Amino acid sequence: MKTIRISDVEQYDGQEVAIQGWMYNKRGSGKIYFLQVRDGSGMIQGVAAEGEASEEVMKAAEELTMESSVRIMGPVSKHPKWAGVYEMQIKKIEVVHLCTEEYPISKKEHGPDFLLDNRHLWLRSKKQWAIQRVRNTIINATYEYFAQNGFIKIDTPILTPNACEGTTELFEVPYFEENSAYLAQSGQLYLEAAIMSHGRAFDFGPVFRAEKSKTRRHLTEFWMMDAEAAFVEHEENMKIQEELVCHIVAKVLEKNQPELKVLERDVEALKKVKAPFIRKTHTEVIAELKEMGSDIGEMDDLGADDETMLTKKYDKPIFVEKYPSAVKAFYMKRDPEDDSRALCSDLLAPEGYGEIIGGSQREDSYDVLMERIKEHDLDPKVFDWYLDLRKYGSVPHSGFGYGLERITGWISGTHHIRETIPFPRMISRLTP
Ligand code: 4AD
Ligand code: MG
């Protein structure tokens, strides 16, 4: 008998197959049992009815407990009433492992701490399952977009001698005699070196920030995708981001309808994610926020609350351009029309989600970059190699980075990004 995955079940309509997985739920008693079995690819209902199923099957169905692992065998067919749903008339049950202890996560409500303590089990719950699958589509769509657009994948280091995104949020680790290393906050600086060899490149990996922020948008370890391109300036940089995000959302809509349903995600909202996105300058946004009652200052960075308030107004992603350079990183090129501002953009996701991408054109002049490094109190010695890129064939170039958990949070409609990473790391959580 063929063992199939539940996601392929419609190809086997009317045939006897085996399905192996875990007991998600059980209803019925005595005369008839409905076993909900999940195998990772989907869920199926197995039916064991007295008279039709053997006594052995009925006994096994009775004994099976939640999350026990099983192999069930029998013919599969379309559910008589529910479209798209398949059922198996169970002929045989093999119990792979019977849970004798009660599964800790029940159908009743649990608090977030309990669920996070049991993250290793919580991952099996329907909603958590759906979120990881959306995340996986986002990863695949990202690789696909870059492969189709001439970006090659370059793996940047995690142990680094210097800061990328400011020195206050660095994790320092001992590195042999007398030395310290820092866990990477972004691979960007290394990608800048790589594009002088390849023209266009991206990385995708874990990054670390000793963030003191305890918000629904912050983790201390998260996954970032950085992209960088030579001869690309600020405008084109935003165009690439817009295309990438549209590609990602379209792929999720194509591949993850069952997951979006589990998540009760408003699919109509996702369908609106089409180019062109909304574009506003930082100055315009400050004025808009003030009108909405915020007490934000003219040259302030946007806070989490500001982003929430602003993005709740819109149903498309919003580029906020040209932030004051004082609130942004040292490597950003200044706006030639206003030296107090950077040629940068943050992309904010709608529906209150806020920043998902940070990007900018990079400073390409050796002298100006040296000045910035000193202004930011950084040690020029550790940036020797980075400055070299401005010595040998410097070109205008730009790039951006997205936070995978932030994008996943928005697209899956998950309020707190801790649910979008398999094992979240936050100030007060390092386990499991
Ligand atoms: O805006 P950020 O700090 O930009 C950079 O690191 C640039 N070097 C990227 C580049 O230009 N290549 O971070 C990029 C993105 C943010 O927009 C956000 O989505 C995410 O990373 N991010 C976080 N996600 C979760 N937890 C945190 N603590 C995050 N900090 C940033
Ligand atoms: Mg940012």
* In a shared domain, residues 189 and 329: yes
* In a shared domain, residues 40 and 135: no
| Residue 67 is assigned to a structural domain of this protein | yes
Kindly report the protein residue whose alpha carbon is nearest to atom 11 of ligand 1: 400
* In a shared domain, residues 397 and 354: yes
| Residue 252 is assigned to a structural domain of this protein | yes
CA of 89 to the centre of ligand 1 (A): 50
Chain-centroid distance, C-alpha 394:
33
* In a shared domain, residues 194 and 321: yes
CA of 402 to the centre of ligand 1 (A): 6
Rounded Cα distance between 72 and 226, Å, is 45
| Residue 108 is assigned to a structural domain of this protein | no
Which residues line ligand 1 at a C-beta cut-off of 6 Å? Answer: 164-165, 185-186, 188, 209, 211, 218-219, 222, 224, 226, 355-359, 399-403, 405-406
CA of 226 to the centre of ligand 1 (A): 9
Residue-range definition of the domain harbouring residue 71: 6-97
* In a shared domain, residues 311 and 227: yes
Q: What is the pLDDT along the chain (432 residues), one digit of tens a residue?
A: 999 999 999 999 999 999 999 999 999 988 999 999 999 999 999 999 999 999 999 999 999 999 999 999 999 999 888 877 899 999 999 999 999 999 999 878 899 999 999 999 999 999 999 999 999 999 999 999 999 999 999 999 999 987 777 778 899 999 998 788 999 999 999 999 999 999 999 999 999 999 888 889 999 999 999 999 999 999 999 999 999 999 999 999 999 999 999 999 999 999 999 999 999 999 999 999 999 999 999 999 999 999 999 999 999 999 999 999 999 999 999 999 999 999 999 999 999 999 999 999 999 999 999 999 999 999 999 899 999 999 999 999 999 999 999 999 999 999 999 999 999 999 999 999
* In a shared domain, residues 387 and 245: yes
| Residue 107 is assigned to a structural domain of this protein | no
At 218, which CATH number? 3.30.930.10
* In a shared domain, residues 232 and 374: yes
Is 241 in contact with 357 (CB distance < 8 Å)? yes
SS3 content of the chain, % helix, strand, coil (to 5): 35, 30, 35
Find residue 20's DSSP bridge partners. 71
| Residue 360 is assigned to a structural domain of this protein | yes
Instruction: Tell me the two tokens of residue 213.
Output: 């922020």
Instruction: Tell me the two tokens of residue 116.
Output: 């996070």
The pTM (predicted TM-score) of the whole model is 0.96
* In a shared domain, residues 88 and 166: no
Which position has the token pair 């010595």? 391
Could you check whether the bond before residue 424 is cis, i.e. omega within 30 degrees of 0?
no
* In a shared domain, residues 146 and 236: yes
Number of domains in the chain: 2
Sheet of 318-321: strand order equals 152-153, 200-208, 221-230, 397-403, 354-361, 344-349, 318-321, 278-281
Q: Which residues contact 338 (CB under 8 A, 6 or more apart)?
A: 322
